[in-house]
Amino acid sequence: MKQIDNYINGSYIPPVSGNYLENFEPATGKPYSQVADSGPNDVEQAYQAASVAFPSWSKTSLEERFLIMNRIAEGIERRMELLAVAESIDNGKPVSLARRMDIPRAAANFRFFATAAMQFASESHEMPGTAINYTLRQPIGVVGCISPWNLPLYLFTWKIAPAIATGNTVIAKPSEMTPMTAYLLGEICTEAGLPAGVLNIVQGLGPSAGQAIVSHPGIKAISFTGGTSTGAHIAATAAPVFKKLSLELGGKNAFIVFEDSDFDRVVSEAVRASFSNQGQICLCGSRIIVQESIFEKFTAAFVEKVQQLRIGDPQDENTQIGALVSEAHFHKVSSYIALAQSEGGKILTGGNSVKLSGRCTDGWFLEPTVITGLSQNCRTNQEEIFGPVVTIQSFKDEAEALVLTNDTRYGLATSLWTRDLSRTHRMSAAIQSGIIWVNCWLLRDLRTPFGGVKDSGVGREGGWEAMRFFTEAKNVCIAY
């Protein structure tokens, strides 16, 4: 069985404890590799390597960083097929999705921030006749990047790329459920000429390896993407030692459909927004709210399209719905379907586990599920399910749509469908979320700020926001 070791100081090394965890393939329900079960000793090794690498990497020219990061992007692209298959095996997502979205985006992350490093500028402010102030933005030192299992290489590299572009050295931890693509990234970085110790990848569990990164006194900034309760725990750990934090957390996103929207397009996009990656994207629209004048028509068309989605072996090119990431997650999502029914919800389609034949007999597959008839304040409409389960509600007018949209503890993303320009502006200003998509979903210009409000987190990623996060600003005031 393949062993997934840590990547520290440019080499693959086993965990200090010698212990490994079983890594399961969600589509088969069987272990297929063993992943290093790291802890504080491994994080310390990584920290030593990162500290030694920092002085030289932080002084490496921007051109050199640009060239290395571009070679990493090319290395990812050269291994597109290998990485897409690895990601699909690890995560249960359709290989076609990994090939179309996750892996190209991982390469784009390195390319984008390689270029950003070359263009990053800081401000100067003149006090006329008195002084000139300039802002010096310097790398922080050794930083930690912790990412979840749902978009494994995509989110992992979204953090690592700006951190190294700005001259930091990194200790990064992927989820222990999806370690394979992060593991493969190590050799890509070595091949691209990234100096040893600039990126260190520590595999293992959140409470041991992750916690050791968060609580390490030498690691001065943490960029974390994951669940809201884990984010709260990390914030509590980091606050007394004043670490810089970026927290990208959960969501319960509304997908708002007005009667004047482009009907065919909105139906198709609602299916994509609900069930891409089995609904396991933080930005998925898990609450569809539809104007009552088209509620029946929309619901019928939506359900019909959902029933056409092909559930199958993620390795099959034609599969649209793969497996859920783990047995525990499968049971968690299933329990929400039972909860929705006990809360008075009516299942319009789905609701059952799926038994596939062949190698996937024991995989964790669930039908895409659409539920209606629930009140806004029930748990199903308030808690993040993070699976192929959506609810549909109706609204009368703009005011009610706004109330329903904002009535959760989360504020990550909203998708708004209307042709009314004034309404677009009014609602965008009033909606409490960090991202508002109008007549689209999951469209990203990497230069824009990315992140949530309320319990969806603090901090912004993307573009200059990420470059600023990974630097410390110093003001130099020079008197005339």
Amino acid, res. 79: R
**Shortest spacing between CB 178 and ligand NDP, in angstroms:** 8
The distance of closest approach from Cβ of residue 271 to ligand NDP in the complex, given in angstroms and rounded to an integer, is 20
43 binds ligand NDP per the rule CB under 6 A:
no
- By CB under 6 A, residue 412 contacts ligand NDP: yes
Within 8 A by CB and 6+ apart from 335, the residues are none
Instruction: For ligand NDP, give the closer residue by CB, 192 or 412.
Output: 412
Residue 334 makes contact with ligand NDP by CB under 6 A: no
Q: Residues binding ligand NDP: what is the number (CB under 6 A)?
A: 33
The Cα 392–Cα 268 span in angstroms is 15
Our CB check for ligand NDP shows the closer of 207 and 218 to be 207
Least distance in angstroms from the C-beta of 98 to ligand NDP: 15
Distance between CA atoms of residues 204 and 158, nearest Å: 20
Return the number of the residue (66 or 224) whose C-beta is nearest ligand NDP: 224
Among positions 246-275, residues that touch ligand NDP (CB under 6 A) are: 248-251
Amino acid identity at 376: Q
Residue whose CB is less far from ligand NDP, 251 or 351: 251
For 147-186, b/e burial (b = at least 16 CB within 10 A) is bbbbbbbbbbbbbbbbbbbbbbbbbbbbbbbbbbbbbbbb
Catalytic residue among 145, 282, 284, 360: 282
C-beta closer to ligand NDP: residue 110 or 410: 410
Residue 246 φ then ψ, to 5° = -125, 125
For the record, the structure tokens of 228 come out as 């809201």
- Minimum CB separation of residue 215 from ligand NDP in Å reads 8
Q: Which is nearer to ligand NDP, 14 or 227 (CB)?
A: 227
Question: Shortest Cβ distance from residue 453 to ligand NDP (Å)?
Answer: 11
Catalytic choice (248, 367, 384, 461):
248
Stretch that binds ligand NDP, among 160-168, 169-177, 262-270, 417-425 (CB under 6 A): 169-177
Q: How far is the CB of 203 from ligand NDP (least distance, A)?
A: 9
CB of 133 to ligand NDP, least distance (A): 34
Q: Which is nearer to ligand NDP, 147 or 391 (CB)?
A: 147
Q: Which stretch binds ligand NDP (CB under 6 A): 6-14, 76-84, 145-153, 468-476?
A: 145-153
List 140, 164, 192, 234, residue binding ligand NDP (CB under 6 A): 234
Subset of 172-231 contacting ligand NDP (CB under 6 A): 173, 175-177, 205-207, 210-211, 214, 225-227, 230
In sequence order, the 6+-apart residues with CB closer than 8 A to the CB of 39 are 15, 16, 17, 204, 208, 209, 212
CB of 327 to ligand NDP, least distance (A): 14
Give me the least distance between CB of 247 and ligand NDP, in Å please: 8
282 binds ligand NDP (CB under 6 A): yes
Which residue has the closest beta carbon to ligand NDP? Answer: 206
Say whether 465 is catalytic: no
- Other C-beta atoms lying within 10 Å of the C-beta of residue 259: 16
Whether 248 is catalytic: yes
Based on the shown chain and the rule CB under 6 A, indicate whether residue 345 belongs to the binding site for ligand NDP: no
The yes or no reply on residue 148 touching ligand NDP (CB under 6 A) is yes
Residue 279 touching ligand NDP (CB under 6 A): no
CB 123 within 8 A of CB 134: yes
Taking the CB of residue 289, how many other CB atoms lie within 10 A of it? 22
Q: Which residues pair with 22 in a beta bridge?
A: 34
Please give the residues from 381 up to 410 whose contact with ligand NDP meets the rule CB under 6 A: 384, 386
- Looking at the Cβ atoms of 383 and 407, the one nearer to ligand NDP is 383
Catalogue the active-site residues: 248, 282
Which residues contribute to the site for ligand NDP (CB under 6 A)?
146-150, 155, 173, 175-177, 205-207, 210-211, 214, 225-227, 230, 233-234, 248-251, 282, 384, 386, 412, 452, 456-457
